[in-house]
Structure 1
Amino acid sequence: MAESLIEIKRKITSTKKTSQITSAMQMVSGSKLNKSEASSRNFQRYSEKVREIVTHLAATQLEYIEGDAEIDLFEDVDPDDYHSMLVSRPIKKTGYIVITADKGLAGGYNSSVIKQTLNMLAEDHDSDQEYVMMAIGSAGADFFKSRGMNMAYELRGLSDHPTFEEVRKIVKAAVQMYENEIFDELYVCYNHHINSLASQFRAEKMLPISDLDAGEVKDYELEYILEPSEEAILDKLLPQYAESLIYGAILDAKTAEHAARMTAMKSATDNAKNIIDDLTISYNRARQTAITQEITEIVGGAAALE
């Protein structure tokens, strides 16, 4: 019985140490989550302003495109009349950027993104030759590479609060591949942050740019003088806008990752406390049994001497 008490006490001590670690990780993830949410809000304000400018400059083209849902860059219109990032072209190959984490301990964060991405690929494509994969995060990169998927680019080791400079290469590479017609549309697959307890898988279409609405164009009292020209500005601005959309998705995914890790560590801490409570009850019962047995042995020994 003494060995049993020692073993139970050892388990209690070990579990307490584990709960201290998970509790500390929960607080760290909570701090990272707050900072990441603030970064996402600040970027959202920037994104909305850029969207407003792009929509205003591209209003004429958007009105023609939105007026004819069947518009085709190669048949219905002169390619010189519209920017290639605004008009859909025949889909021969699709590009996907899949955002996961570099580390675990985040509950079902990584597995959810990978599983739902695979389901989407199975539903939308008959062959792996119909799509190109790009991965942000070691979990997704390792998974897709181990299955021999067509990987065009991978990015690992992002910081907890990535700057645009960190993701510039993969973002610019994705836009460049679209412009070079390596693929004809681009989706970003990631977990969208809803709150600290919930996230939602999203597969957002980034290219061609389809989220602009000519109806949102604002009227200005002053007339803008554009230099060198509207077309030249759009040639620079539309790729930057597409890059900002992808970067915004990365920030959103990172926020969801911090929330998932905080929730997972809270759950682990709570489970550790429950285990400690159960072990403490077992320890007290074992100790009580040992004491009772000792008393019984003493009483029995005294009775034998009488």
Structure 2
Amino acid sequence: MASMKELRARIGGVKSTRKITNAMKMVAASKLRRAQVQAESAKPYADTMYRMMGELASTVQGADPSSLPRLMAGTGKDQTHLLIVMTSDRGLAGGFNANIVRQARQYINELHSQGKTVRLLPVGRKGGDVLKRYYPDAIVDILSSDTGQGDSFGQAASIAQHVSKMLDKGEIDCCTLMRNLFVNAMTQTPERIGLVPLPVAENDNQQANADTAQYEFEPNDEELLAQLLPRNLEVQIYAALLESAAGEQGARMTAMDNASRNASKAIDNLSLRYNRTRQTNITNELIEIISGAEAV
């Protein structure tokens, strides 16, 4: 049984921990609002561009991949896959990092079972450390995540250039991005997005195809694609960075709130044990005094 001194020390330690978790919850809550606004602002533009590029890909479906830009059709093969996995640089965010890494490992094992080669580009130290431990030979590089405080678009452009160079050199055939989709502060859903080749938009029926308007573009298609394809890649990665940043802050706020609640419960339990121990000690001392008096 713990002594009163030990119980007082444990109560003091848990109270100090609760102060830290409360402070971290407040910091995460203040950062969450800004990150959420940024993610929601970028989402409509990114979704519209993704859908537009998918419709564009459907118009060239069946064409020779070698005649199309690699950012649209890939290399024409399906052997080497690049997987971009977005996590955070810091922990104490509940299952935010563990969930996306678990989904990534399942997808990697699925590709391996099909005889595919997987290259990994983790964005975020937490996910990078885990994936490096399981797949050390597959790591291309481990990049720092962006929590929405720095130049997120500059980072997205840098990642997009990295992907484009690997495609041009023929080091990869396909590229997929995995990130946590921000739903709310308590819910972040792992999501997989195909970046290269562009996913073909699926229409509900043939009538939808017939009703689709036909457009003429200026400048010509080649010049238009040369500008749109790199921009689309940058925008999708940028939106994913913002979603991941919002999800991280939401997950951390929820995790620290739960930690603070658990600390309060632990303090209550320890205080109850402390009072019972104190009462027991007082009772024992009274018994000893009474017994001594009776002996005299």
SS of 2:99's partner is helix
- How far 1:151 sits from its partner (Å)? 2.0
Q: Does the Cα contact within 8 Å between 1:175 and 1:243 map onto a contact in 2?
A: no
Q: How many residues align?
A: 288
Does 2:59 match 1:63?
yes
Cα distance in 1 between the residues matched to 2:168 and 2:236: 16
Distance 1:25 1:128, change over 3 A: farther
- How far 1:167 sits from its partner (Å)? 3.5
Paired position in structure 1 for 2:188: 199
SS of 2:27's partner is helix
Paired position in structure 2 for 1:156: 144
**TM-superposition CA deviations, 1:155-182 (whole Å, max 9, x none):** 1253444521133322221133234432
**Where does structure 2 lack aligned partners over 5 or more consecutive residues?**
none
AA in 2 matched with 1:248: A
SS of 1:149's partner is helix
Cα distance in 1 between the residues matched to 2:145 and 2:266: 35
**TM-superposition CA deviations, 1:133-160 (whole Å, max 9, x none):** 1111112222333442222232125344
Cα distance in 2 between the residues matched to 1:280 and 1:120: 48
Cα distance in 2 between the residues matched to 1:64 and 1:211: 9
Name which of structure 1's ranges 238-247 and 228-237 shifts more when overlaid on structure 2. 228-237
Match of 1:289 among 275, 280, 285: 280
Match of 2:71 among 85, 90, 95: 85
Q: Does the Cα contact within 8 Å between 1:72 and 1:87 map onto a contact in 2?
A: no
Cα distance in 1 between the residues matched to 2:179 and 2:49: 23
Q: Does the Cα contact within 8 Å between 1:133 and 1:149 map onto a contact in 2?
A: no
**Where does structure 1 lack aligned partners over 5 or more consecutive residues?**
66-70
Paired position in structure 2 for 1:209: 198
Percent of aligned positions with the same letter in both sequences?
Answer: 27
- How far 1:183 sits from its partner (Å)? 1.3
Q: CA RMSD in A?
A: 3.0
Cα distance in 1 between the residues matched to 2:24 and 2:212: 47
AA in 2 matched with 1:250: L
**TM-superposition CA deviations, 1:208-232 (whole Å, max 9, x none):** 1226568699869xx9872x43420
Cα distance in 2 between the residues matched to 1:106 and 1:165: 25
Q: How does 1:143-292 map to 2 (within 5 A)?
A: 143-146=130-133, 147-156=135-144, 158-162=146-150, 163-210=152-199, 212=201, 226=218, 228-292=219-283
Q: Does the Cα contact within 8 Å between 1:8 and 1:279 map onto a contact in 2?
A: yes
Paired position in structure 2 for 1:107: 94
Paired position in structure 1 for 2:11: 12
Q: Does the Cα contact within 8 Å between 1:193 and 1:256 map onto a contact in 2?
A: yes
Name which of structure 1's ranges 41-50 and 97-106 shifts more when overlaid on structure 2. 41-50
Paired position in structure 1 for 2:27: 28
Cα distance in 1 between the residues matched to 2:53 and 2:104: 30
Distance 1:39 1:257, change over 3 A: same
Q: Does the Cα contact within 8 Å between 1:50 and 1:241 map onto a contact in 2?
A: yes
Cα distance in 2 between the residues matched to 1:189 and 1:54: 19
Distance 1:286 1:52, change over 3 A: closer
- How far 1:21 sits from its partner (Å)? 0.4
